[in-house]
Amino acid sequence: MRNLRTFCAVAEHGGFLGAQAMLGMSQPAISAHIKDLEVGLGFSLCRRGRGGFALTEKGKDVYAHAKDMLSGIEDCEARLGALRQVLTGHLRVGLVDSEADNPDLPVHRAIRRFFSREQEVRLSLEVGTPEALAKALQTGEVHVAIGPFPNRQPNIDYSPIYAEEHALFCGRDHPLFMRPAAEITTAMLSPYPMTVRPYLQRAELSALQDAHVTASVSNMEAQAILIRSGCFLGFLPVHFARKWLSDGQMRRIDLPGLGWRSQFHIAQRVQPEPTGIARLFVRDVKQELIPHQV
């Protein structure tokens, strides 16, 4: 069973190196588990070498079957735990990046509430883009995901929990940084290069119809780096930009119609039915967010 779990982790993280931190194992130990599994099955599961890591066709089939089997085992663990009146199983949660400092999205308090109960639960917390989290929900790689999901997927239940405020910012070395606020108009922003996040591009560009987009990023850390370079304008969540505003590295371009709000949801797969621990965690998140609802 451990060999199968190790193989699934390697497949999901694109190789031995990526799976190392999640498994808490050395690469030689991971390699030994994969080799033992291949010997037991009688065929190769993956190719590794200078060309990179890739699953063989049989490896892809084994991964799919193993995920189904491990999911069934986790469900069985949860049901047996319910009979013992102890929470058991593996809870896998996904979250969009750069939310650790968000006072209006206290996921850490929901985790504390969840683990205050008598439990024997293993927790995995993954950070990813909304697209990656939606895919992980569909495949069962995560049980619960929190973030903005502009593109709805079938078989996923979305519950609104919070709306995140976004604003336009420039860096200290940008030509607009020292410009008096009274002199800045929406029309004068168009010539300046702008960076966008593809998964929020529609919302960002609706605020600036003639935006000069010359860069794109996959996450907010990258967005902040480009803005701080002074070469780009870009939108960021207000809570995330606060630290750079306070030390004078960024300036908010505060014009009517530029700000917008990103609706966050807590999402889980409809079928197969979520485990009891997943449903309980969703309830804990919602209870922690009641005072923070928008």
Q: What's the pLDDT at 172?
A: 98
Is it the case that residue 93 has pLDDT exceeding 90? yes
pLDDT (mean) for 77-98 = 78
Is it the case that residue 135 has pLDDT exceeding 90? no
Is it the case that residue 258 has pLDDT exceeding 80? yes
Contact 217, 186 (CB under 8 A): no
For residue 184, give its domain range. 164-260
Residue 187's CATH number: 3.40.190.10
At position 237, the amino acid (one-letter code) is P
Determine how many CB atoms are found less than 10 A away from the CB of residue 12: 16
Domain annotation covers residue 20: yes
Measured between alpha carbons, how far is 79 from 74 in angstroms, rounded to an integer?
A: 9
Domain annotation covers residue 271: no
The percent of residues above 70 in pLDDT, for the chain, comes to 92
Measured between alpha carbons, how far is 46 from 260 in angstroms, rounded to an integer?
A: 46
CA atoms within a 13 Å half-sphere pointing along the CA-CB vector of 32: 5
User: What pLDDT, in 10s, does the model give residues 140-187?
Assistant: 889 999 999 988 888 899 999 999 999 999 999 999 999 999 999 998
Domain annotation covers residue 114: no
Residues listed for the chain: 294
Domain annotation covers residue 94: no
pLDDT (mean) for 192-199 = 88
Contact 87, 120 (CB under 8 A): yes
Strands 119-127 and 87-95: parallel
82-96, 166-180, 267-281, range with greatest mean pLDDT: 166-180
From 149-153, 238-242, 271-275, 288-292, the region with the lowest mean pLDDT: 288-292
Q: What angle do CA 27, 31, 32 make, to 5 degrees?
A: 120
Contact 196, 213 (CB under 8 A): yes
From 48-57, 100-109, 281-290, the region with the lowest mean pLDDT: 48-57
Q: What's the pLDDT at 13?
A: 79
pLDDT (mean) for 200-213 = 78
Q: What's the pLDDT at 154?
A: 86
Domain annotation covers residue 36: yes
Residue 17's CATH number: 1.10.10.10
183: Cα separation from own chain's centroid? 39
Mean pLDDT score across all residues of the chain:
87
From 13-27, 51-65, 119-133, the region with the lowest mean pLDDT: 13-27
Measured between alpha carbons, how far is 44 from 61 in angstroms, rounded to an integer?
A: 12
Compare 162 and 228 and report the one with higher pLDDT.
228
Proportion of the chain in helix, strand, coil states, percent, rounded to 5: 45, 25, 30
The neighbouring-strand residues paired with 236 are: 167
**Banded model confidence at residue 14, pLDDT cuts 50, 70, 90:** confident
Compare 238 and 82 and report the one with higher pLDDT.
238
pTM higher than the cut 0.85: no
Torsion sign across C-alpha atoms 272, 138, 204, 173 = positive
Domain annotation covers residue 108: no
**Banded model confidence at residue 294, pLDDT cuts 50, 70, 90:** very low
Domain annotation covers residue 278: no
- What is the maximum alpha-carbon separation in the chain? 73
14-23, 172-181, 197-206, range with greatest mean pLDDT: 172-181
Instruction: Name the DSSP class of 275.
Output: P
Last-in-domain residue among 84, 103, 132: 84
Q: How many domains are there within the chain?
A: 2
pLDDT (mean) for 254-258 = 89
Measured between alpha carbons, how far is 44 from 36 in angstroms, rounded to an integer?
A: 11
Contact 31, 17 (CB under 8 A): no
Domain annotation covers residue 273: no
Q: What's the pLDDT at 80?
A: 66
Contact 30, 16 (CB under 8 A): yes
Contact 3, 25 (CB under 8 A): no
pLDDT (mean) for 225-241 = 96
- DSSP codes of every residue in 92-157: EEEE-SS-TT-TT--HHHHHHHHHTSSEEEEEEEEE--HHHHHHHHHHTS-SEEEE--SS--TTEE
Structure tokens at 218: 């996959």
Last-in-domain residue among 20, 49, 84: 84
